[in-house]
Amino acid sequence: MDKREVLLEVQNLSKFFTVNTSFFGRPIDVLKAVDNVSFKIYKGEAFGLVGESGCGKSTIGKMLVNLYTPTSGKIIYDGVELTALKQKERRKYCKEIQLIFQDPYASLNPKMTIGDIIAEPILINKILPKNEVEKRVNYLLDCVGLANHQRNRYPHEFSGGQRQRVGIARALAVNPKLIVCDEPVSALDVSIQAQVLNLLDDLKDEFGLTYLFIAHGLNVVKHISDRVGVMYLGKLMEVADKNELYNHPLNPYTQALLSAIPSVDITHKKERIILKGDVPTPINPPDGCRFASRCFRANDKCTEHCPELKDIANGHFVACDFCGEINTERRIILENKQT
């Protein structure tokens, strides 16, 4: 039925941090940064991940690029279960999955020229013979819109947007298949954001890349992604094709999140759902639905057990047990569309 090829699958992935240990070394407080999360990323797509600060987006990204070891769960990349491999074997896959950071200022070594910064991973991974590296670096600089003669300059001589281009060239240097873009434009001015977003879009086609695109700017995610997942306190609340998700959000949290985005379209004033309170801490979270303390639809049962992420139809996944009628309505529409 589904002809798309899966490039990456994450099954029941969790990452817990122990933030407080007792005198006997027993964990007292457990921070559940990512809690039992499952999703697939198809070849050639951009999968967007949104959610409020601290909900676990970057932690997922870091597990994919081997910066964090998962507490439990599986990461399956191109048919290989990475989480079952020994570290030495696991590292072989590191160049396939690359990371672009949020902060173009902090992520580049200030003492290296940008040419060396881009050449470094090529040399470390022995991708090319030494005499071909320079040509490759020039090619990559060209791809990201920097001039060849800039290769001997240092990061501080570049603007934020240019540094982000250097970070992108460095990620591309090892011929990755999947790139985790963690807030790649959040630190940039609006006029520079558009330049970098268009660049990422072009490179995706040119290099046949697949993206996991992490951001809290929902308009940016909508622009770049094919499908989008919404996270809250370590849990995935909803996943769907972007237009389906943005036009027909089913989970109350997704609805509130979308309604909270200020829009530049001043001719259409939308209804805003103002949530009460703050995002609770992910330390020792309650058993029930993570959103229960702020949810405008919550009832007693929500605090009893945690809803599972279920496919209601056509790849629209929702975790919420009490938007039943709306879900059914939407399912019927989606199923009719399918036939």
Partner 1 sequence: MLLEVENLQTEFKVKRGTVKAVNNVSFGVEKGEILAIVGESGSGKSVSSLSIMGLIRNPGKVTGGKIMFHDENLVGKSNKEMNKIRGDKISMIFQEPMTSLNPVYKIGDQIMESILTHTELSKTEAKETAIKMLDLVGIPSPEKRMDDYPHQMSGGMRQRVMIAMALSCNPEVLIADEPTTALDVTIQAQILELIDRLRNKIGMAVLLITHDLGVVAETADRVVVMYCGRIVEQADVKDIFTDPLHPYTKGLLESIPRMEEDRDRLYMIKGVVPDPTKLPKGCSFADRCENCMEKCKEHMPALVDVGGRKVRCFLYSDEEEVDV
Residues that bind ligand SF4 (CB under 6 A): 251-253, 289, 291-292, 295, 297-298, 302, 307, 320-323
User: Considering the rule CB under 8 A, would residue 94 count as an interface residue with partner 1?
Assistant: no
Q: Which amino acid is at 66?
A: N
User: Considering the rule CB under 8 A, would residue 300 count as an interface residue with partner 1?
Assistant: no
Which partner, ligand ATP, Mg ion, ligand SF4, none, binds residue 55 by CB below 5 to 8 Å per kind? ligand ATP
CB of 286 to partner 1, least distance (A): 17
Which partner, partner 1, Mg ion, ligand ATP, none, binds residue 20 by CB below 5 to 8 Å per kind? none
Q: Which residues in 1-30 contact ligand ATP (CB under 6 A)?
A: 17
Q: Which of 36-44, 51-59, 114-122, 314-322 is the region at the interface with ligand ATP (rule: CB under 6 A)?
A: 51-59
Which partner, ligand ATP, partner 1, ligand SF4, none, binds residue 17 by CB below 5 to 8 Å per kind? ligand ATP
> Binder to ligand ATP among 22, 25, 53, 265 (CB under 6 A)?
53
User: Considering the rule CB under 5 A, would residue 58 count as an interface residue with Mg ion?
Assistant: yes
Query: Are residues 75 and 81 in contact, defined by beta-carbon separation less than 8 angstroms?
Result: yes
Q: Give the contacts of 96 (CB within 8 A, at least 6 positions apart).
A: 77, 78, 176, 177, 178
User: Considering the rule CB under 6 A, would residue 56 count as an interface residue with ligand ATP?
Assistant: yes
CB of 44 to ligand SF4, least distance (A): 32
Tell me the per-residue interface mask from 13 to 52 with partner 1, x by CB under 8 A, - otherwise. ---------------------------------------x
Q: Is 201 helix (H, G, I), strand (E, B) or coil?
A: helix
CB of 214 to ligand ATP, least distance (A): 7
User: Considering the rule CB under 6 A, would residue 59 count as an interface residue with ligand ATP?
Assistant: yes
- Residue 160 sits at the vertex; the CA angle it makes with 159 and 163, to the nearest 5 degrees, is 85
Query: Are residues 279 and 259 in contact, defined by beta-carbon separation less than 8 angstroms?
Result: no
CB of 282 to ligand ATP, least distance (A): 5
d(CA 179, CA 158): 23
Which partner, ligand ATP, ligand SF4, Mg ion, none, binds residue 289 by CB below 5 to 8 Å per kind? ligand SF4
21's enclosing H/E stretch is strand 6-21
- Strands of the chain (E only): list them: 6-21, 27-42, 46-50, 72-77, 80-81, 97-100, 178-182, 210-214, 227-232, 235-241, 310-313, 316-318
Question: What is the side-by-side order of every strand in the sheet holding 235-241?
Answer: 97-100, 178-182, 210-214, 46-50, 227-232, 235-241, 316-318, 310-313
Q: Which residue has the tokens 């990349």?
A: 77
User: Considering the rule CB under 5 A, would residue 107 count as an interface residue with Mg ion?
Assistant: no
Q: Which amino acid is at 214?
A: I
Residue 45 DSSP class: -
d(CA 11, CA 84): 13
CB of 251 to partner 1, least distance (A): 14
Closest to ligand SF4 by CB, 253 vs 317, is 253
Of residues 71, 44, 42, the one with CA closest to residue 56: 71
Where do contacts with ligand ATP occur on this chain (CB under 6 A)? 17, 31, 33, 51, 53-59, 216, 282
